[in-house]
Copies of this chain bind each other. A is one copy, B any other.
Amino acid sequence: MAVRLQSEPFDAGAEIARLTKGRTDVGAVVSFTGLCRADGETGAISAMTLEHFPGMAEEELGRLETQARERWPLLDCLIVHRYGRLVPGDPIVLVIALSGHRQAAFEAANFLMDYLKTSAPFWKNEESESGSQWVSAKVEDDQRRNLW
């Protein structure tokens, strides 16, 4: 299981380099990085705080990783999710999938992001000039998840 929760930033490039180092069986690496946007879900934001359910978040991400490994021939897989206060431009989440051929890595990374959005216990609270506000879940996210 390669799932990490942390308040510190992550380095997508260092993780890709670490996962591929010394291997000659990997043909494809797909990475997804999600970043905090100034144009948030509730409007223009100055910061956001990610609340999470410690213990369940790790377990749920671990369950998603297991599902992805069962559905695609992955050579390795990593999910890193941050919590705490972030400002626009900060990285929030990283998913990396490694496989022999490209389609498995693309699909697994996409699947993990779609599932993570709707089932990993994280909640965003956005700060703006008018105060702070919880982000509402998006219907599209549920719909995307149900396509898999």
Interface centre among A20, A35, A103 (most CB of B within 10 A): A35
- Would A13 and B17 count as touching, CB distance under 8 A? yes
Q: Kindly list chain B residues whose C-beta atoms are within 8 Å of the C-beta of A14.
A: 13
Which residue in chain B gives the minimum CB-CB distance to A110? Answer: B106
Whether the pair A30, B31 counts as a contact (CB closer than 8 A) is yes
> Considering the chains assembled together, what is the distance between the CA atoms of A28 and B95 in angstroms?
11
- Copy number in the complex reads 2
Task: Using known A-B contacts A30-B31, A37-B24, A89-B24, determine if residue A103 contacts B13 with beta carbons closer than 8 Å.
Answer: no
State how many angstroms separate the Cβ of A37 from the closest Cβ of chain B.
5
Number of interface residues of A (CB under 8 A): 36
A contact set with B: CB distance below 8 Å: 11-14, 16-17, 20, 22-39, 88-89, 100, 102-103, 105-106, 109-110, 113, 144
A74 to chain B, nearest CB (A): 15
- A17: chain B residues at CB < 8 Å are 12-13
- Provide 19 A-B residue pairs closer than 8 Å at the C-beta atoms, listed in order of the A residue: A12-B29, A13-B13, A13-B17, A16-B33, A20-B35, A20-B89, A22-B89, A24-B89, A25-B38, A25-B39, A28-B34, A30-B30, A30-B31, A30-B32, A31-B31, A34-B102, A39-B100, A106-B109, A106-B110
